[in-house]
Chain A
Amino acid sequence: DAMVIQNPRYQVTQFGKPVTLSCSQTLNHNVMYWYQQKSSQAPKLLFHYYDKDFNNEADTPDNFQSRRPNTSFCFLDIRSPGLGDAAMYLCATSADRGLDEQYFGPGTRLTVT
């Protein structure tokens, strides 16, 4: 089945220790998104790739970076995690921008100790 896969599902990192979250997709979609969802809050878009074109949200902290080496994979790098970065991180894809449906992965829950 075509799908969006996120690894790992649970990640524990230490305060200030860089961490990378991974997303892959078998849908061959052009667009990949990263969302952050804190407890009882709405998912919040951090950035998205339209093909190789990176689009950062204005309020995404510089601590968050992303890489998309090819169509299938996208990575979220947190350079120096703080306690406030503990959250669920959701990856999503869509065939195109506009109103195309977004397909979400199961998320990675990040804990910062």
Chain B
Amino acid sequence: DQQVKQNSPSLSVQEGRISILNCDYTNSMFDYFLWYKKYPAEGPTFLISISSIKDKNEDGRFTVFLNKSAKHLSLHIVPSQPGDSAVYFCAAVSTGTASKLTFGTGTRLQVTL
């Protein structure tokens, strides 16, 4: 039972354009959402998060949008850079479960020149 779904296993975007990575969840108890970025041979690193009391959080080139009614969130990267090429994991937390992260399967982003 996949509670956090990233339906696009891969995405290719040209440098300078917008990258949009999508994530859907099914558990209505999730109230905090995170994006992690993973380079090959490294562990995932935290990128950006959003609480369910917000619908947008922005950090530089990265913005996360949350649509609670649709149980959908997205990560926007503008402008995309070659160094953004990595696997991006969406993760969700129910704050009543002591920080247990439920991850999606990841989307591999390739930013081309």
A residues touching B (Cβ–Cβ < 8 Å)?
Answer: 4, 31, 40-45, 48, 50, 55, 57, 90, 92, 94, 97-107
B residues touching A (Cβ–Cβ < 8 Å)?
Answer: 2, 4, 9, 32, 36, 41-46, 49, 89, 93, 95, 98-106
B43 & A31 in contact (Cβ 8 Å cutoff) = no
The answer, among A41, A97, A99, for a CB contact under 8 Å with B32, is: A99
The answer, among B2, B98, B103, B104, for a CB contact under 8 Å with A50, is: B98
Q: Contacts A101-B46, A106-B43, A107-B43 known; A42 to B103 CB distance under 8 Å?
A: yes
Q: Give B40's nearest chain A residue, CB to CB.
A: A106
A106 & B99 in contact (Cβ 8 Å cutoff) = no
B32 & A104 in contact (Cβ 8 Å cutoff) = no
Cα(A31)–Cα(B43), bound, Å: 17
B101 & A105 in contact (Cβ 8 Å cutoff) = no
- 28 of the cross-chain contacts (CB-CB < 8 Å) are A31-B99, A40-B9, A41-B105, A42-B2, A42-B4, A42-B103, A42-B105, A43-B44, A43-B89, A43-B103, A44-B103, A45-B100, A45-B101, A48-B100, A55-B98, A90-B43, A90-B44, A97-B98, A98-B98, A99-B32, A100-B99, A102-B101, A103-B46, A104-B43, A104-B44, A104-B45, A106-B41, A106-B43
Cα(A92)–Cα(B46), bound, Å: 11
Cα(A42)–Cα(B106), bound, Å: 7
Q: Contacts A104-B43, A106-B41 known; A99 to B95 CB distance under 8 Å?
A: yes
Contacts of A45 in B (CB 8 A): 100-101
Q: Give B32's nearest chain A residue, CB to CB.
A: A99
Cα(A100)–Cα(B101), bound, Å: 11
With A97-B98, A102-B46 already in contact, 14 other A-B pairs whose C-beta atoms are closer than 8 Å: A41-B105, A43-B44, A43-B89, A43-B101, A43-B103, A45-B101, A48-B100, A50-B98, A57-B100, A98-B95, A99-B49, A99-B99, A104-B36, A104-B44
